[in-house]
Chain A
Amino acid sequence: MKENNKTYWNGFEQLTNDPEFVKKAEREFPEELPTNGASEGGSSRRDFLKVMGFSLAAASLAACEAPVRKAIPYVNKPVDINPSVPNYYASTFASGGDYASIVVKTREGRPIKIEGNKLSAITQGGVSAVVEASVLSLYDKQRLTGPMVDGQQSDWPTVDSEVVFRLRNAGNVRVVTNTLISPSTESALQEFAGSFGAEVVTYDPVSNYGIIKAGGALPSYRFDKADVIVSFGADFLGTWISPIEFAKQYSKGRKISKENPNMSRHFHFESNMSLTGANADYRTPIKASQNGLAVLALYNLLARRGGAAAVNAAAVEIPHLEKAAEELWANRGRSIVVAGSNDPNVQVVINAINDLLGNSGETVDFSKPAYFRKGNDEQMNQFVTDLNAGRVGGVVFFNCNPVYDHARGAEIAEGIEKAGVSISTNETLNETASLVQIVAPDHHYLESWNDFNPKAGEYSLSQPTITPLFNTRQAQESFLAWSGNNTSYYDYLQTSWSNGLFSGQNEIGNFQEFWDRALYNGVFTSENAGSASVSGTGNVSGAASEIGRTYSADNANVELVIYQKVGIGNGYHSNNPWLQEMPDPITKVTWDNYLTVSQNWAAENNFKMSEGNTKMGRITVGNKTYTLPVVVQPGQAVGTVGLAVGYGRTKAGRVADGIGINAYELVDLSRGYNNFEITEGVTLELVNDNYKLPQTQTANTYMGRQFVVQEATLGEYREDASAGRYKPQVYAEGEFVKPSKISLWKGHKYSQHHWGLAIDMNSCIGCGACTVACQVENNVAVVGKQEVLNRREMAWIRIDRYYSSEAGADSYQDLERAAANPEVVFQPMMCQHCNNAPCETVCPVVATTHSSEGLNQMTYNRCIGTRYCANNCPYKVRRFNWFKYHDNKDFAAVNVAQNSDLGKMVLNPDVTVRSRGVMEKCTMCVQRIQAGKLSAKRENRKIEDGEINVACAVACPTDALVFGDMNDPNSKVSQVLKIEESIEAVKEVNEERAYHVLEEINVSPNVWYFTKIRNKDKNEA
């Protein structure tokens, strides 16, 4: 219009700018709004009603709080991020020297689940409970959101200038760290040390210094190559050095079949009942004070056989030791002897024993050293002394917490002030970081780049799986920055790989390709590791005389054995509610720290523990006294008491603070190493205070119920593959038949898939990795200590732990009581997905139904919560939402994954968070099944076996659980069960060891158990 300069007028009025018109034109609607009424000022009845109606509507609208949903669409979709399609990244978990090669599952850019990396030669796809749970610590509220200087929030440039300025004039600088297995981190640290003249002090909260001191290095252990395993208190399946790796190896020797009816034989000598001891074939409780002598006795027994010179040792009576020696000797080169003791003298003898047996180089390989533990107890001890003497000018705590986890933590706390400069890189303001001047918080490991060298020749990488959530900076980058090197750690890492590993190989010519391959795989094995020249041998007679001095065959004192729990470990991850609520594999206690005492001691004190009701015990070590609840532990060596580290945190966060006591304070340093076995100066007395422990299982035995646990010895199994099987029969129409032959049910037919699970009780070591994996995968709520006390934990999969009763027990009372040194059996228990499910018939609203693929399904939306299904479940695997566990301030402190925006980032978006008043239970990871089916359908192909796997089976470090399609004759589950091909719900299973728990009630589960076979000569407890 502008171009042809024409203007069209509405009329003459506009053209003439008639004032009347202009006045009207300004008001768009010439008619009066009716609310104004006819007359000005007054309002009519109608207006009143209108106004009132409006205000009422407005008020009610305002009262309905419209939830603000923040959903920000991708304007430009990032490459590889597809909504609802997960991405997987290979990475590495390392905490101190605890190591696992992992695969991180991310959804929409959030890491939500951790699984094992099958390409790793070390962990081989296994994970532990701690590794599984570590994803939650990424979203921990306790993490620092930015650097701090002198207690004030700060920024990185200030931190950098302050650190450099203060350290320059500090004088003696020490960097304190736990074991580092990252070569690039070490070199970054060296750069830092170089520029400030700093010395690196490495210590481990639970140290294995004894082994390193005795043999010069930590050897590679090969439990898979050992036919006879003898362990003196080394909990290698639970907490010792590299439990995932060892569990994987161990399980290889424990799997048996008719074709290969051989398994390793495991002798175990220990004071506390450990997870490993619970799996042993012959377990002998010994006092800690006899430990060294027992090792010496074994040496002498073997030396006699080998013609070597015996050493002087006090005689000590230890059952099964003679037998162990005999079998070790018969399996020279195919056996292994390990000890958990941190006493270098004991380790010298152990090395000598393995030498005698020709195990060195076979099962104990010093030529391929492992780097899981590098801590030097003496150096650390010296550091504390120096710190307190004011000889340390500046101290940097690199992701470690010695104020809490060192025996002289209190002295360190005091000494920090004496150091002119104190810096910490901890992610949280823990006991140590809260005392230092400058905190430069590190990334969480899921936000970091790093490399690892856990063993000679074995490398792995970790990569960020999320943009840093907070204003943190990778500690290595901080060290580089402080030493004046401004390269990013990522470049630094690449450079060091380019110069080192890349140039050391000639398979791939291009570094980028080499790097991408290593990053994709997560691991890299270098061929030319260069064998170390460590022999591992030491002076046996010298060690023997030392042992003779420090150990005694008849110590009458109470002995304290400090140990790590499988879930809590050394306490570094104790602010993780998943780990706190994970029941201890042995005691089944959650959320608590306690003293384990022998049945003998309990009897002497006229004290019985039942249904979690116990009393307090007062333990005095030197001048320190603590009062803790007491757990009567079957298998605890008489005269000993066990206490776990990892508790007594004061600044871990609101999950862990205030639980139990700090047992590190009791560790004895007087012998030049961290001694976890206190044999002198310990007194223990019963205090008459009642206490209730939050246990998830209070019954100790399986009451001789063969329909629950079926077991046999290896000898029996060799004679008859169905040994130990209990085969109930029902009388019908003149003959005895299997219960499955009679049914009121027409029976399902599964034309497509028939999902099933086979559980080998021989492989299951009870570690609990599956339980945490399930919790992460399925958004299972954490309910906290009080609700566990109320027996309302929500776990979908649990591991039932049963002790054997005393041999010959037949009254119910005797059966209820665990034997003094019981055999232990672990039975993972989850929804059995019964074909004739008792829960399905009783639900009044059909909220639980059977799928066309054999799954028992739970429809949360339809559930009205009568709990009839749970009552009628013979396996008691159904869990009820007694309260609203999400978005509820009463549970915010424990159920962190469902109560804050930060915590909720860890939730699996494929799984509903259940509301109050509905029932839930194991779904056999139906979301994974659906995802697998969907991707197969999209690619127009059949599902491959192994493509779909349930979270528990994936996590299992011993492959005890096998999941698959029982309709597919080639699937692994069909193979192990030897299933005849059919689409019937009731499958003919030909594996003799396979059985259903509670076969006689014919609920026809889709979960099968394999009899527990012990490698014992005869049935004996």
Chain B
Amino acid sequence: MQVTSSVREPLVTGGKTYKDVTSDVSRQVEGKPTVGWLLGMAVSLGALLLGSIALVATLWEGIGMWGLNKTVGWAWDITNFVWWVGIGHAGTLISAVLLLFRQKWRTSINRAAEAMTIFAVICAAMFPVIHMGRPWLGAYWALPLPNTFGSLWVNFNSPLLWDVFAISTYFSVSLVFWYIGLIPDFATIRDRATGIRKTIYGALSFGWDGAAKTWMRYEAVSLILAGLATPLVLSVHTIVSFDFATSVIPGWHTTIFPPYFVAGAIFSGFAMVLTLMIITRKVFKLEDYITIVHIELMNIVIIITGSIVGIAYITEFFIAWYSGVEAEQYAFVNRMFGPYWWAYWSMMTCNVISPQLFWFKKIRTSIVATFILSIVVNIGMWFERFVIIVTSLHRDFLPSSWVMFYPTLSDVGVYLFTFGLFFTCFLLFAKFFPVINMAEVKSVLKSSSEKVKR
């Protein structure tokens, strides 16, 4: 069935056998935590703890702990929200869209990418809740729940409500998709484990029996879920972009936002996957599974999406000029040359110029360069959201209300908290869950590994 191309590089190197795959991946789950892991965990928990001071202060004292003001009602909170949601796009794209497109190289990275998605979405979802003035009420008033308040209902016209649906749908589908994929691997670990671990992984694997029929159902469910998840990849960030696109604020009121946001999300998501995978493959010695080919392919996606984003930036400018709307024109000139010029040019450098370096094969196949650029891209994408949100708001229609926004320690702290949360979750995942989808990797060994063929 499998067609082997002589031009294609093997997806898994090092002549791995099925047993090698199992033992290479399970080794991390079964062994003692490594020093690197413990160190990482300590740093993450530290960030979590430090950040929680800021979070508690915000919840206790009020949103006034942040740098927001009468004109700039959103800044770091929604910047972080959109940034994390964007990062959360890669997982589903890799596992669902690439599955539909039969891209086999996805198999060694999809597990970690999906995990990243879920943790990123958790971090993202935190912001819409904590940015509320009264989160203790807003957390459930924003849901269309039957209630005893009378005929009170949510406002279906509000893009914020659309966000609630978009994010929660995306999160649940991603979670289910991820977990379904984990079941066969949990079963593998269960089969190798003893004692209490056997029981736990046994429970987690839902009694997987490895029968042909089970495998068939597994494949079918994966495909259905991939089908369901694919439109979500496009819809989530489209809807997030509606928060801005449907408003009247110059710099927000832009029809280009949905495709531009989706491209940006994939762009940042892939960058984050790269950042994480480069570390993981090193620490867990998985270089044979996540090869330079994977990295190169992902870098290519980054060039494409980065270029789309770049074109979107330029188009925005053109349209602002072409529209003849004074406030709109000013908003864009202000981005470039106003008081937040540095944010704009950071965004331009990181998002548009730096990914173009990947046109050079030498750079896109260099681990160090990729690692650095993947971080640069995510810095750039953070600035993109900051530029859109803050520099549009801070100088809108009436000059009398023009202000500057300066972040406070609490702004930084809450952001740090999400980093702590994200990495704590990711490290726990890396230790206790198989970071590579063993079952699926095994399915591609045949077409790529010399040894297994013999």
The answer to whether A792 touches B64, judged by C-beta atoms less than 8 angstroms apart, is yes
Would you call A219 an interface residue if the criterion is a C-beta within 8 Å of the partner chain's C-beta atoms?
Answer: no
Q: Using an 8 Å CB-CB cutoff, how does the interface string of A779-798 with B read, 1 for contact, 0 for none?
A: 00000000100111100001
Q: Taking the nearest CB of chain A, how far is it from the CB of B233, in angstroms?
A: 24
In the bound complex, CA of A610 to CA of B292 (Å): 51
Chain A residues near B141: list those with CB within 8 A. 845, 862, 864
Chain B residues near A843: list those with CB within 8 A. 155, 158, 160
Q: Taking the nearest CB of chain B, how far is it from the CB of A868, in angstroms?
A: 6
Question: Which listed residue (A842, A878, A883) contacts B160, Cβ 8 A?
Answer: A842
Within 8 A of B (CB), among A867-888: 867-868, 870-872, 874-876, 878-884
Other contacts beyond A793-B70, A1001-B248: 14, CB < 8 A: A791-B70, A792-B69, A802-B399, A812-B330, A841-B158, A843-B160, A845-B142, A845-B155, A864-B135, A866-B132, A867-B73, A867-B133, A876-B71, A882-B68
Would you call B20 an interface residue if the criterion is a C-beta within 8 Å of the partner chain's C-beta atoms?
Answer: no
How many chain A residues touch B (Cβ–Cβ < 8 Å)? 59
Within 8 A of B (CB), among A882-906: 882-884
Binds A, one of B276-284, B401-409, B432-440: B401-409
| Chain B interface residues toward A at CB < 8 A | 61-64, 67-71, 73-74, 128, 131-135, 137-138, 141-142, 152-155, 157-161, 164, 243, 246-249, 325-327, 330, 333-334, 337, 339, 393, 396-404
Chain B residues near A524: list those with CB within 8 A. none
B334 and chain A: residue at smallest CB distance: A812
The answer to whether A842 touches B159, judged by C-beta atoms less than 8 angstroms apart, is yes
Which 4 A/B pairs are nearest by Cβ-Cβ distance? A865-B133, A917-B133, A864-B138, A882-B64
The answer to whether B142 touches A844, judged by C-beta atoms less than 8 angstroms apart, is yes
Chain B residues near A790: list those with CB within 8 A. 64, 67, 69
Chain A residues near B393: list those with CB within 8 A. 871
The answer to whether B152 touches A880, judged by C-beta atoms less than 8 angstroms apart, is no
Known: A705-B327, A792-B69, A793-B70. A876 touches B133 (CB 8 A): no
Would you call A448 an interface residue if the criterion is a C-beta within 8 Å of the partner chain's C-beta atoms?
Answer: no
The answer to whether A876 touches B401, judged by C-beta atoms less than 8 angstroms apart, is yes
| Chain A interface residues toward B at CB < 8 A | 611, 697-699, 701-703, 705, 707-708, 787, 790-793, 798, 800-802, 812, 827, 829, 838, 841-846, 862-868, 870-872, 874-876, 878-884, 915-919, 997-998, 1000-1001, 1003
Chain B residues near A915: list those with CB within 8 A. 134
Q: Taking the nearest CB of chain B, how far is it from the CB of A884, in angstroms?
A: 7
In the bound complex, CA of A867 to CA of B73 (Å): 6
The answer to whether A871 touches B247, judged by C-beta atoms less than 8 angstroms apart, is yes
Question: Which listed residue (B63, B132, B333, B396) contacts A882, Cβ 8 A?
Answer: B63
In the bound complex, CA of A420 to CA of B190 (Å): 100
In the bound complex, CA of A917 to CA of B69 (Å): 13
Counting chain B CB atoms within 10 Å of each CB, which of A707, A844, A870, A1003 scores highest? A844
Question: Which listed residue (B135, B152, B164, B326) contacts A705, Cβ 8 A?
Answer: B326
Known: A838-B247, A874-B249. A868 touches B133 (CB 8 A): no
Chain A residues near B152: list those with CB within 8 A. 845-846, 862
A875 and chain B: residue at smallest CB distance: B398
Question: Which listed residue (B70, B135, B399) contacts A870, Cβ 8 A?
Answer: B70
Chain B residues near A787: list those with CB within 8 A. 64
In the bound complex, CA of A481 to CA of B7 (Å): 114
The answer to whether A792 touches B70, judged by C-beta atoms less than 8 angstroms apart, is yes
Counting chain A CB atoms within 10 Å of each CB, which of B134, B246, B399 scores highest? B399
Chain A residues near B71: list those with CB within 8 A. 791, 876
Between A and B, 11 residue pairs with Cβ closer than 8 Å are A791-B403, A829-B400, A841-B246, A843-B160, A844-B154, A868-B158, A874-B248, A874-B398, A878-B70, A916-B133, A917-B63
Known: A870-B73, A917-B133, A918-B133. A865 touches B63 (CB 8 A): yes
The answer to whether B248 touches A708, judged by C-beta atoms less than 8 angstroms apart, is no
Question: Which listed residue (A812, A875, A919) contacts B333, Cβ 8 A?
Answer: A812
Question: Which listed residue (B153, B248, B337) contacts A872, Cβ 8 A?
Answer: B248
Chain A residues near B73: list those with CB within 8 A. 867-868, 870-871, 880
The answer to whether B333 touches A791, judged by C-beta atoms less than 8 angstroms apart, is no
Chain B residues near A862: list those with CB within 8 A. 141, 152
The answer to whether B248 touches A697, judged by C-beta atoms less than 8 angstroms apart, is no
Chain A residues near B137: list those with CB within 8 A. 864
The answer to whether B400 touches A842, judged by C-beta atoms less than 8 angstroms apart, is no
Chain B residues near A703: list those with CB within 8 A. 330, 399
A703 and chain B: residue at smallest CB distance: B399
In the bound complex, CA of A404 to CA of B134 (Å): 46
The answer to whether B133 touches A708, judged by C-beta atoms less than 8 angstroms apart, is no
A915 and chain B: residue at smallest CB distance: B134
Q: Taking the nearest CB of chain A, how far is it from the CB of B161, in angstroms?
A: 4
A868 and chain B: residue at smallest CB distance: B160
A610 and chain B: residue at smallest CB distance: B339
In the bound complex, CA of A880 to CA of B74 (Å): 12
Known: A812-B333, A882-B63, A882-B64. A864 touches B399 (CB 8 A): no
Counting chain A CB atoms within 10 Å of each CB, which of B63, B133, B152, B327 scores highest? B133
In the bound complex, CA of A878 to CA of B69 (Å): 11
The answer to whether B400 touches A846, judged by C-beta atoms less than 8 angstroms apart, is no
A872 and chain B: residue at smallest CB distance: B247
The answer to whether A876 touches B132, judged by C-beta atoms less than 8 angstroms apart, is no
Chain A residues near B248: list those with CB within 8 A. 838, 872, 874, 1001, 1003
The answer to whether A866 touches B62, judged by C-beta atoms less than 8 angstroms apart, is no
Chain A residues near B249: list those with CB within 8 A. 871-872, 874
In the bound complex, CA of A791 to CA of B74 (Å): 14
A811 and chain B: residue at smallest CB distance: B333
A1001 and chain B: residue at smallest CB distance: B248
In the bound complex, CA of A801 to CA of B400 (Å): 7
Q: Taking the nearest CB of chain B, how far is it from the CB of A887, in angstroms?
A: 14
Question: Which listed residue (B134, B154, B246, B402) contacts A865, Cβ 8 A?
Answer: B134
A836 and chain B: residue at smallest CB distance: B248
In the bound complex, CA of A988 to CA of B76 (Å): 43
In the bound complex, CA of A883 to CA of B154 (Å): 25
Chain B residues near A883: list those with CB within 8 A. 61-62, 64
Q: Taking the nearest CB of chain A, how far is it from the CB of B144, in angstroms?
A: 10
Question: Which listed residue (B62, B155, B164, B327) contacts A846, Cβ 8 A?
Answer: B155
Known: A864-B134, A864-B142. A800 touches B398 (CB 8 A): yes
